[in-house]
Each structure stands twice: as structure tokens, then as C-alpha cells.
Amino acid sequence: MPTKTYIEAIREGMRDEMRRDERVILMGEDVGVKGGVFKATEGLHKEFGEMRVIDTPLAESAIVGVAIGAAINGLLPIAEIQFQDFIMPAVDQIISEAAKIRYRSNNDFNVPMVVRAPFGGGVHGALYHSQSIEAIFCGVPGLKVVVPSTPHDAKGLLRAAIRDPDPVLYFEHKRAYRLIKGEVPDGEYVEEIGKARVVREGSDIAILTYGLMTHFCADAAEKLAADGFSCEVVDLRTLRPLDREQIIASARKCGKVMVVQEANLAVSIASEVAAIVAEECFEYLDAPVMRLGGPEIPGVPFSPPLEEFYMLTPAKIETALRRLAAY
Amino acid sequence: MAVAKEDAAQRAGLDTDALRTMYRHMARARVLDERMWVLNRQGRAPFVISCQGHEAAQVGIAMALRPGYDWAAPYYRDLAVTLVLGMSPKDHLLATMARAADPNSGGRQMPSHFGCRRLNIITGGSPVATQVLHAAGAALASRVRGEDAVAMTSLGEGSTSEGDFHEGLNFAAVHKLPLITVVENNGFAISVPWDKQMPLKDVADRALAYGMPGVIVDGGDPIACYAAMKTAVERGRRGEGPTLIEAKVARLTPHSSDDDDRIYKTREALAEEKKHDCVLGFRVRLEEAGVLAPGDAEEIRAEIMREVDRALQEAEASPLPSPESALLHVYGD
């Protein structure tokens, strides 16, 4: 099986779907001639032309709002927001419009649209090129939110998102783009939205996580294994709808649960996962649910000591895991 | 005077039958709108928002579209637009009564949040100006497929202060999309007058900044509105890009059934607007031109009243949605 980077898998996912279905179009800032600021769309403008790979004006509400209209009129648009941090002007279109269009029209209309955006820190991007603000969308009925952590899932989930009849937010960790490599099958496989993946089986602590943190947690779990602690690592992959079954199964099996995310903790994915565990697994728990995430500050600061303070690392996760193991 | 206006109709390609149809559409919207207010004041309908004073503009604009082929993303005042495109008084009375069979939303949205997939009327929400972008997207999709369909969107002058108005017009202009944006300028955004929305007298002046034609039209004159829209539609079909049309209209009612316009609009100003009521004015004009014979208007009105009476009976007899149906249609799978 060929090995590819995370960003190659995303690019191929778009390319393959555009070859397969001419209704798929791509629109966003710099996605055309330049091929995207991260090169996620490189080569697509040349292959599919400016009618299907559209350099838009610098206006995020329009990128999403026009994609909604195009989806209503029969296309399958992929709208790229250059950084998740810049999605804010489009939030009205995503939450007030896209999320509600099927419901408010009593199933007369639907919005088969994907909004792609890179998120996450560790790239010296400071406050406005590093955020993890996915929680904003995860409480909104009508939306689906996916965050792949491997090249395999990046391609499989992107295919699923494009073929989904409803709006899907597809968040890709920008530090994973070239850092993470993995095997990607050649065939036309699709990863189902709403299913978590057990990355590593274990029996002492269930680590529930997503995005780049999946890799950091796997590294930390490996360290603990050397000392005889068995950690199960679960990549949530889809943040809305969460895979409750897998969350509950892993929590009950291990009896200790740690939820790890890059975002700050207040009213977050970790909050929701911890609530599910509290409601469904109380009698199975040997320790309080532990949540590990970013500090309660407005963003990731620029200066290296500040950025390092914000970001989780395998070592920080390992320390927290040892604390939970000792409880 | 009558002769000159008949000339205007001929220039716009409207024959006698088309003019009678035009009047009938206007009268039908007015009768239905008035009935909704009666229902509200009787305590039978919780909310009404009105098209009264906008009928000429809406009918003229909508008659220049191909229903079910072209796209429309209207706003909450566009009752007459939806009737011209093929929705019925019963469709809207079902919405007024929040019935399960309401084709706009199944009783989920407030009344006048229009939508009908069959007729390419794009479902609308309550945040204003968001629909401008949806219409631009619909226009884009038609063009990607190589069709010559156009998309019409409409909004009030107050909504042009929103960012989505700017983003939509700029996007459509840059990509030469067949988008026709119709601003129904009645001078008030609920209570706030136009000069607190913009330092310009004419919204159409903004078109210059988007590099598209900006047309001002007398929104009390349906023939003028039809002619302006026809020109814009033809331009769009030829691939020459978008147009901004500003129709100067009057709002003859408060913003909605929950508003009291006496606080911000003088009775004299309202009386002056009512003197130029577009439905009455067009009737007189067609009678003077001999398009409507004496008694025709009364007959048309009586016929519409019967239709609306019947529609109301059917709507009231139609069941409410079941409580648990609130859970349906969040996702498609």
C-alpha cells in the first residue's frame, strides 16, 4: 500500500471525487492558480479549470453562502476557509443557514456541502492561525463535524463528507499536513461519518482524543506500556455526531478515562465526552474523568516559550496519564 | 396620459391579456394580505408581515422570470412574488395557520418565510441579506452546467447595510453571474428611516462600486418594474453579468402585526402613500386605457375573495403537525 502525507491524501480525495462526479466544485481564497496557501489544492485548477476550481474574493461569508446556493442548485461544493480562525464571518451562513435549511424547509431542501478548514497550533501561527474552535459547531443540530488524524482517514472521510447529503465541516490539522504519513489504499474506500477508531487497544486507561493529539496520545501510551500500564487510545474522528457506543465501551472496559484535546476545555468536545461517560459509565469508573487540553486563554501566543506553554506534547500527556494511573 | 402608458406596455412586450394578468396578480396578493391581517386581529393568526404597497414591484419583477427554471431567493415581504411564481393563497394560509401541510416549512417557521423546491424558490430564514449569497450560488451552479437560468434575490433597503449584501454583489460582479438583486426601498427598516442606513438617496448608486448597472424604477408602476427586470434578465441570460434594481415603494402597513408605526411615521405621510396606492392606481390606469372594462375589477376581486375564502376553509381544516414530528428532518439519513 502506498505511503502518503496527510495533505496528499486530502488533495487526492478532492481530485478523485472531482474526477468521479462533475458536480463537485471547489471554491475559496487562493485555491486556484496558487493551489492553496498550504498547497492542498495544487494541480486541481490545472486539471479541472476555473469553472470548477474557483478563486473567490476574500470574503468568507460569501465563500460559504455561495456554496450553499450552489448546493441547493444541484452542485456538490467544497468551500475552503483558509484558516479555521477566519471562519467567523461565515458562522451565520453555517449555523443560521446551512444547518437549518433541511429542517426549516421540512425536508424540501438540503445542503450537500463540505467546508474544509485547517486548524491547530504548533506552527508559530499565533492567535489567528492556530486556533481549535471546532466546539462552536459541535453543538449545532444539522451540522456534521469530522476531524481526521491519519492520511487514510483524511481521504476516506473526505469522500464521505463530499457524498453526504448534509453540510459537513471537515477540519484538518495543519501541523499534520506534512508531519503525518501513512498508508492510503488505492481503491475507492469511504470511511463512515460518526464512527470512532480504536488506535491502540488497552485495559487500564481509555484515552479519548482527536486530531494531531491522537498521535501524541499514542506516543504517550507507548511510554506507559513500558511500565506495564495498558492504555486504549480512541480517535473520535467525528465530533458531531459523537460515537457514543465506542466512548461508552472503552470507558467501561478501562474504568479510567482521559479526554485529550488541543482546544481549551470550557464547554468543549472534552466536556461533552466527559458528560457522556458520567451519565453512562458511573458504576464502571475507578477515578474521576480527567480532561486535558489548552489553557483558558484567547489563543496560542507567538513567542516560542508561550506557544510551548500552550501546546500539549506527548511528555505532558504522559505526565497526566501517570497521575490518573496512580489514582 | 393613458396612451403614453399603453405605449410603455407595448414597448415591454405586454399585451392586453398580460396586463390583465398583471392586475389580477396584484389584486390577489392584496386580498390575501388583507385577509391575513383580519385573521391576526381576530386572534386566529399569531403573526403577519405584509406586502401591501409592494405589489406592483413584486408582480412586475416576478412576471419577467421563468417559474421553475429561474431561481428566486425572496425576502419576507415577497408574497406577490411567490404567487406569481406559482404558489397559492392556500399554501400561505397553511403557513399562517402553522399547519403540517404548509409547503414552505410544514409549520416550522414563522409565516412569510417562503420556500418551494418545485418552483426554485429558495427557503429563507429570518437573518436578513443571507439569501443574496444563496441566489449568487444558484446562479453560479446554473452557469457551471451551461444553462441560461438567472437568479433573482430581493431585500429591503435596510438589509443593504448587511455585509452579505456587499459580499454577494461583489462576488456576482467579479464572476459575471446572472444575479438580479432587487431592493424594495420603502424608506423604513422597521422604524429606522433610510437616511440612518446610508448617506445616499438611492441604493442603486452602489451599483457603480460593483461595476454593474444600477437601475432605479418606480415601484408603484408594474410595467416599469417588468421592463427593468426584463432587461436585467436578458442581460443575465446573455452572460453579461448581474444587475441591481432599486424599486421605490411604499409600505402601507406597520413592519409586522407586532409593530405600531404611529410612533415613527406621521399619519399624513401614510395618507399620502395611500393616495398613490399601486393596486388602485394600476386599476385606474388599465380602466382608462380600456384594458379593464367597467365592472371587471369588481368581478376579479369577487373571484379572488371566493378563492381565498375556500383556501382559508381548507387551511383551517388541515391538521397541525404532531408534536413528535419536531424531531424529523434534521439530517437526510
Q: What is the pLDDT of residues A232-266, one digit of tens each?
A: 999 999 999 999 999 999 999 999 999 999 999 99
Residues present in chain B in total = 333
Contact B202, B232 (CB under 8 A): no
The count of CB pairs under 8 A between chains A and B is 144
In this chain, the answer to whether the domains covering A3-183 and A197-325 adopt an identical fold is yes
Distance from CA of A107 to the nearest CA of B (A): 6
Q: What does the block give as the cell for A195?
A: 464512527
Class of the CATH-defined domain A197-325:
alpha beta
> What is residue B5's predicted lDDT score, i.e. its pLDDT?
58
Q: Cβ contact (<8 Å) for A70 and B144?
A: yes
Partner A, chain B 87-106, Cβ-Cβ below 8 Å? 102-106
Q: Any idea where the domains of chain B sit in the sequence?
A: 2-319
Q: What is the pTM of this model?
A: 0.98
Task: Report the CATH fold assignment for B2-319.
Answer: Rossmann fold (3.40.50)
Residue in chain B lying closest to A90 (CA) = B164
Contact A161, A170 (CB under 8 A): yes
Q: Which residue of B127, B144, B170 is in closest CB contact with A75? A: B144
Residue A185 dihedral angles phi and psi, to the nearest 5° = -65, 155
Q: Which CATH number fits domain A3-183: 3.40.50.970, 3.40.50.800, 3.30.2320.80, 3.40.50.720?
A: 3.40.50.970
> What is residue A262's predicted lDDT score, i.e. its pLDDT?
98
Q: What is the pLDDT of residues A136-178, one digit of tens each?
A: 999 999 999 999 999 999 999 999 999 999 999 999 999 999 9
Sequential DSSP letters for A111-132: ---EEEEEE--SSS--TTSS--
Q: What is the pLDDT of residues A29-74, one digit of tens each?
A: 999 999 999 999 999 999 999 999 999 999 999 999 999 999 999 9
Selected catalytic residue, list B255, B267, B306, B329: B255
Contact A137, A169 (CB under 8 A): yes
Q: Any idea where the domains of chain A sit in the sequence?
A: 3-183, 197-325
A50 touches chain B (CB under 8 A): no
Mean pLDDT value across chain A = 98
Q: What is the pLDDT along chain B (333 residues), one digit of tens a residue?
A: 444 556 889 999 999 999 999 999 999 999 999 999 999 999 999 999 999 999 999 999 999 999 999 999 999 999 999 999 999 999 999 999 999 999 999 999 999 999 999 999 999 999 999 999 999 999 999 999 999 999 999 999 999 999 999 999 999 999 999 999 999 999 999 999 999 999 999 999 999 999 999 999 999 999 999 999 999 999 999 999 999 999 999 999 999 999 999 999 999 999 999 999 999 999 999 999 999 999 999 999 999 999 999 999 999 999 999 999 999 999 997
B282 touches chain A (CB under 8 A): no
DSSP structural state of residue B216: E
- Burial (0-12, 13-18, 19+ Cβ within 10 Å), A253: middle
Helix (H) or strand (E) holding B204: none
